[in-house]
Amino acid sequence: MRRSLVLLALPSLLTAAHPSVRELSLKTPDGFTLKGTLTVPAGHGRHAAVILAHQFQSDRAGWAPLAEQLQKHGIATLALDLRGHGQSTDHNGASLTVGEDFKDSAKRVGFDQIPHDLELVAAWLRRQPGIDGRRLGLAGSSVGALSALLAAPKVHPIAVLALSPAGNAAFGGDTEARLKGAVNHARSAVFTFASEEDADAWQNSKALAGLPGVYAKGVAGKAHGFEFLASHGDTMTVFFAEYLRRRVPPKPKAEAAKLEAAAAPAAPEPAKKP
């Protein structure tokens, strides 16, 4: 009889072990219907969560490698299709999508409104069952990274990951000053990645480097945005896991450097002499 009870309970236990997936559909004040996917890991209690904002001409699927790692650490993820991308192309009943040209797309679609979109998404996320609204993170790539940093004062994330923060042309000539002001005001822990030959991203990252709570990682070469996921995904996961596992104030950039060292593979031990 005891074994029968265990076998009867097994299907429900297996079901409970799967993450919960919910679809976001949210209309912005200017008429875009934003789409996204919230994945909440299995387990009781409320989970920390990270909102993922992709780069130009991409979509939410680009974050899959990092999202999977975060979920394994018990962190929920909300992968968003930015306005004009993926499934977020409905604008007051008509289709409005990005094109090949960044500046033209930014003007037509309204990239300067993406930080406000992230505020709306964060408010929606905080109302969802199983989410601890006190422990939110933001992750962005390229224009998504710049938008995440600009949104931080209103979203109040504990931690922000910015891969190649770029796209200043979408936000006006005072973008760098606004960026620094936003990061100072938000008081979040910030981790940026930028390549030295990626002009706009490198300049924005350097502008933030001396601010409290910011660790700006420079990388040789031309890698941009999602290209960092393959080689630095473990570091990004550790960054969020350390900051979001409990609600804590931002730590100085020296601590972020320690996180990166902790995520790096261990050096091989020297061979012993015979």
In a domain, 274, yes or no: no
Quote the pLDDT of residue 6.
36
Query: Where does residue 131 rank: exposed (0-12), middle (13-18), buried (19+ CB within 10 A)?
Result: buried
Question: Is 75:240 a contact under the CB 8 Å cutoff?
Answer: yes
Quote the pLDDT of residue 272.
42
Tokens linked to 160:
């922000």
How far is residue 259's CA from residue 253's CA, in Å, rounded to a whole number? 10
* Predicted model pTM: 0.85
- CA-nearest of 186, 168, 185 to 176 is 168
The helix/strand/coil state of 234 is: helix
Q: From its phi and psi, is residue 110 left (phi > 0), alpha (psi between -120 and 50) or beta?
A: left
Quote the pLDDT of residue 19.
85
In a domain, 235, yes or no: yes
Q: List beta partners, residue 137.
A: 50, 159
Quote the pLDDT of residue 245.
83
**Which CATH number characterizes residue 184's domain?**
3.40.50.1820
In a domain, 269, yes or no: no
Q: Kindly list the strands in the beta sheet with 33-40, ordered across the sheet, starting from the edge strand earlier in the chain.
A: 20-27, 33-40, 76-81, 47-53, 131-141, 159-163, 189-195, 214-219
In a domain, 151, yes or no: yes
Q: From its phi and psi, is residue 52 left (phi > 0), alpha (psi between -120 and 50) or beta?
A: beta
Task: Quote the number of domains for the chain.
Answer: 1
pLDDT in tens, the chain (274 residues): 433 333 333 343 333 468 899 999 999 999 999 999 999 999 889 999 999 999 999 999 999 999 999 999 999 999 999 999 999 999 999 999 999 999 999 999 999 999 999 999 999 999 999 999 999 999 999 999 999 999 999 999 999 999 999 999 999 999 999 999 999 999 999 999 999 999 999 999 999 999 999 999 999 999 999 999 999 999 999 999 999 986 544 444 454 455 445 544 444 344 444 4
In a domain, 243, yes or no: yes
Burial call 79-100: b when 16+ CB within 10 Å, e when fewer: bbbbbbbbebbbbeeeebebee
Question: What CA–CA distances, in Å, run from 116 to 25, 39, 65, 244?
Answer: 15, 22, 26, 23
In a domain, 91, yes or no: yes
Quote the pLDDT of residue 224.
98
Contacts of residue 208, defined as CB under 8 A and 6 or more positions apart, other chains included, come to 149, 179, 180, 183, 190, 192, 214, 216
Quote the pLDDT of residue 261.
56
In a domain, 242, yes or no: yes
Question: Is 143:151 a contact under the CB 8 Å cutoff?
Answer: no
Q: Residue 241: give the domain boundaries.
A: 18-263
Quote the pLDDT of residue 18.
82
Quote the pLDDT of residue 268.
38
- CA-nearest of 163, 123, 146, 161 to 238 is 161
In a domain, 182, yes or no: yes
